[in-house]
Every structure is written in C-alpha cells, then in structure tokens.
Amino acid sequence: MELKKIGDVKFVKGGVCAAKGFKANGVQCGLAHAGASVTKKKNDLALIVADKECTAAAVYTTNKVKGAPILVTKEHIKNGKAKAVIVNSVNANTCNADGVEKAEKMCQLAASALGISEQDVIVASTGVIGQPLPIEPIEKGIKPLVEGLTYDGNSRAVEAIMTTDTQVKEVAVEFPMGGKTCTMGGMLKGSGMIHPNMATTLTFITTDADISAELLQRALSDVVKVTLNRVSVDGDTSTNDMVCVLAAGTAENKPVTKEDADYGAFVNALYNVLMNLARMMARDGEGATKLIECSCTGADTEAVAETVAKSVITSSLFKAAMFGEDANWGRILCAVGYADADFDINKVDVQIGSKQGRIDVCKNGAGVEFSEDEAKKILQEEVINISISIGDGAGAATCWGCDLTYDYVKINGDYRS
C-alpha cells in the first residue's frame, strides 16, 4: 500500500530510530497467553531510548476501564519529560489487582538497567485483558533488551508490539523547520478492537525537533482527532490505547514556542506520520483484505462530514459488501441516512473508486445507472475510495475502515489460544 504525502515532507526509513538520538530494540522474553501450548516465537518486549531527556506528550483511551500502564505513564509525564519507553505485547496488564505494581516494576527494571530515573520511563502493554502479567519473563528479558539497543533497532521493536497484526506499521518523514532538516518517525500496533475513541492502538512517535511540551501536547491532541480518531475496524474501543511522542531537540532547530509557521510545519509532519499509520492500521484490520477511505464533502461543518463518513465505515453491512466486491450503494446511503447529523438527503451524491477508476452510483439521493462489471473491477483493488457529497458547504472529512471478512470471526473466536 502506497504512502500518502501532504505538504513538504520526505519519506525516509528507520521508524522510531529515524530521528537523531534514538535507539530501540525488541526481544522475545517468553510471555505467553494462559493456556497456550506453545509460546509464540516473536519478540514480545520492546524498548525505545533517547540519548537525552525529551519533551513528552501523550493521548490515552477514552474507555472508562484503563490499563495499569496508562495510570503509571500519566503520572510519569506530568512534567512533560521522558527518556525511554518500555512496552510488552501478549498481556494488557488490565483489570488486575497488582497491575499498577507490575507497570511500575517494568519502569524500575528499565530505569535501573539504563541508569535513569524511573519517572523518565513511559510504560505500555497490549494483549489479553484480565490476566495477571508475569513479571519474571520481563525481568529476564531486560538485560538482553538493553544490551541490544541500536540506532537501527526499529524493526525489532515494532515486531514486539504486534498482537493480531499481520503487517509491520512504521513510517518516518524528514521536514524543514526552524532552519534545519528535522525528522519524525513512528511505529504502531493495532488490528482489532479499533474504533474512533482514541482508536485502539499503541503508537510511539519520536522526533529530533525542538518544541515545547505545551505545543507538543497541543499538536498531538489535535492531530489524533483527525487521524487515529477517524479509524474503525470493528466498533470496539480498547482499554490500553496510548499515543506518545518524544521530542529530543537534537536537530538543533530554532525552538518552537509559539503557533507560527514552524509549528505548522511540525503539525503537518505529525499529520503525515499519524495519517499513514492510521491507514496501515485500517488496512490490517483483523481478517481484512481492503482499506476503505471514505471522504465526505459539502457539509455545513467538518463535524457533520466526519459523522457521515464514520457512519459509513462502521456499517457492518457496507463492510461485508466491500468484502464481496458488491457495489451495493444502497448500504452506503442507508448508513449516510442514519448518521446523527442534519443535511438534505436529496442532495447526496456517491461515487466509488480505486486506481481502476471512479463511477457515480447515486445522484441527488437516488440511484443512477452504472456498469456492474466496471464496479466489480473497481472493487477488486486493495484500496477503495468512497466519495460522498451532501451539499455545498465547506465541511469535509476523511475516515478509514476495512472490509468485514470470515477471518474476523475466526481470529476473535480463539484469540486467547
């Protein structure tokens, strides 16, 4: 799947290690689902470390049930500073009586091995909810995890955060800011339990840009709303969602301390990273075969456009039709119609498209003749575009989803095994 570029950025390799001054590593420490007969032979413990203390910001799940790592991380970055991230997969460390104790222990282990304060460590976990996190494998894994840190260790780290993910999700960009070339990179896990309430993910962003903690938090909070919060796979919102950003300032740009052109450049870079990670997450939805990009234009406000686009990408009937490559446009109009927003349904136009072309399927709220063969050809592609116009307003929004397949049920029917 091709990356999409907005504005003055250049895609580069390296993920969370692309920015100057960041090391990473991932190891297989031996965590396993309860009852699993064979430990999955993939990395399950990751570490990201900056050469110097960074400004830090984070956004968390809106679920009332929150994983213990979120509670600990919130306390640790109250001062807007951090230097390292430790994260495990397999076990979410959520709904456990000793959850906070285990999350703090992970920070202590990392801090001791790195020679830093545990308050400078961000901690995250993903995996099965409600099972105690065994700390012993993590204790044994810390030494090789730290010893293996390298400035090109991003691929080992991103493997360690994957659960039901089938595709690696990382992206990095270079961008001009403050008279210097700055770099920003990120990695993401997320495949199921994905819905637009701080979409279900663990996402880690690193940058060598110099920006104040206040503006870093503002940028992250704003960009998450138009990227990760516009993704849906299955309507479920996780307990452990977290996006964090570490900014090291090693690019030696003029520090960003106000909302000026440099701040705009930073926000655009962050948008490019998170937007592409969001698209990767939607494409790798559990069992998915297609990425669906639904754009709504002509709305009175951006909020109305977002509501309409989200309504379409979350429709199970529409998602199933996309899996069957069936141009059943009535399911699109149905989802548009029950969106919680005000607009004139008689002004709704719908197009379906892909790199094979575009066709109109609905005009002014009613169907139009089109070639089923041409529509089938369009829907056979990996990336499907649904374009909806609901009037002549300036409001517009794009949301991302995926098709609904037989494999979604298979994956979630035996998730713990």
Q: Under a CB-based contact definition with an 8 Å cutoff, are residues 279 and 400 in contact?
A: yes
Q: Which helix (H) or strand (E) holds 410?
A: helix 406-413
Q: Which of 200, 250, 297, 398 is catalytic?
A: 200
Q: Under a CB-based contact definition with an 8 Å cutoff, are residues 352 and 325 in contact?
A: no
In angstroms, the CA 331 to CA 333 distance is 5
Q: Treating both helix axes as pointing N-terminal to C-terminal, what angle do 302-313 and 316-323 enclose, rounded to 10 degrees?
A: 60
User: Beta 45-60 vs 81-88: how paired, if at all?
Assistant: antiparallel
Beta-ladder partners of 26: 46
The 8-class DSSP code of residue 327 comes to -
Q: Under a CB-based contact definition with an 8 Å cutoff, are residues 328 and 321 in contact?
A: yes
The 8-class DSSP code of residue 212 comes to -
Q: Under a CB-based contact definition with an 8 Å cutoff, are residues 220 and 58 in contact?
A: yes
Backbone angles phi, psi at 219, to 5 degrees: -60, -45
Give start and end residues of each alpha helix (H) in 226-349. Answer: 261-283, 302-313, 316-323, 329-337
> Over the range 25-37, which residues count as b (16 or more CB within 10 Å of their CB) and which as e?
bbbbbebebeeee
Q: Under a CB-based contact definition with an 8 Å cutoff, are residues 286 and 411 in contact?
A: yes
Active site residue 301: no
Residue 177's alpha-carbon distances to 142, 256, 285, in angstroms, are 37, 9, 34
Q: Under a CB-based contact definition with an 8 Å cutoff, are residues 1 and 283 in contact?
A: yes
- CB atoms closer than 10 angstroms to residue 380: 12
Backbone angles phi, psi at 369, to 5 degrees: -70, 140
- The token duo for 400 is 């991302």
| DSSP codes, 205-268 | EEE---B-HHHHHHHHHHHHHTTGGGB-SSS---S--EEEEEE--TT-PPPB-SSSHHHHHHHH
- CB atoms closer than 10 angstroms to residue 221: 13
Question: Which residue numbers are catalytic?
Answer: 200
